[in-house]
A = this chain, B = another copy of it.
Amino acid sequence: MDSKQQILLRSNEAKEIYLPHISADPVIFGFENNGLKVLMLQTNYRQKWLLPGGYVRKDEDLDDAVVRILKDRAGISDAYMEEFGVFGKKDRSEFFFEDFDETLFHKQRFISIGYLALYNPSNTILVKDDISNACDWIFLDELDNIDIAMDHREIIEKALLTLREKISIKPIGYNLLPEKFTLSELQKLYETILGKELNRGNFYRKIKNLGILKKLDERRRGGAHKAPDLYSFDEQNYNKALENGLNNW
């Protein structure tokens, strides 16, 4: 079965179970090798890259739909999630399926709700579904080199802006870093998101005064030099800081 037939099959099913005209597109950010990445899928059909979006079931809360979409399309659960924008231009999506006729579910006009998600790439086992031929974390600076469908590039940019604003108000890291991490990894994450370098000593003090870290009795061995201490987040204080907000960086 070729990719076009597969889409047609999906279309009929979709008409029955999903609300028309509404889609949700999660921009899932991950942090690895000192860089920010976005999870994207490449469709069999037309070989273009897309956010792992999906639709809302007729009998399902929108919030639940997004959780399900993340799970089904990217194999991700328990990610941090937040709505950050709505994309509703009238020709934003219809053109993509130009070789299908108007009855195709996917070819409707869609208003898409953008969700920002944070997740640690090393926790993911990437599974491409049957309409995708690839599922990958793409570094932010590689986005320019791939062919992105519809307005998904614009969606990612808005998500990134939101992330940047967010980090000056709320702590970020819990969903992006592994259980155990070093201070310089955390600092690098902040530097990457903010797009500027931070002073190590000041970062050390500030993050420590927040009280959101727990120093572990372990070190990361095997590096070329002194073994750095490992930390993890103190969940209670982290969540308290999430509620109360922080100051600026």
User: A-side interface residues toward B, CB under 8 Å?
Assistant: 19-22, 56, 58-63, 65, 83, 85-90, 109, 111, 113, 165, 169, 248
Total identical chains? 2
Contact between B83 and A63, CB atoms less than 8 A apart: no
Contact between A86 and B113, CB atoms less than 8 A apart: yes
CB of A115 to closest CB in B, whole Å: 10
* Consensus secondary structure, chain A interface: mixed
Contact between B111 and A19, CB atoms less than 8 A apart: yes
Q: A68 to B156: give the CA distance in the assembly, Å.
A: 28
Q: Which residue of B lies closest to A21 (CB)?
A: B19
Q: A62 to B248: give the CA distance in the assembly, Å.
A: 34
A89 / chain B contacts, CB cutoff of 8 Å: 61-63
Contact between B56 and A19, CB atoms less than 8 A apart: no
Q: Which residue of B lies closest to A112 (CB)?
A: B62
Contact between A58 and B88, CB atoms less than 8 A apart: no
A21 / chain B contacts, CB cutoff of 8 Å: 19-22
A58 / chain B contacts, CB cutoff of 8 Å: 109
A62 / chain B contacts, CB cutoff of 8 Å: 86-89, 111
CB of A107 to closest CB in B, whole Å: 14
Q: A61 to B60: give the CA distance in the assembly, Å.
A: 26
Q: Which residue of B lies closest to A114 (CB)?
A: B86
Q: A22 to B111: give the CA distance in the assembly, Å.
A: 9
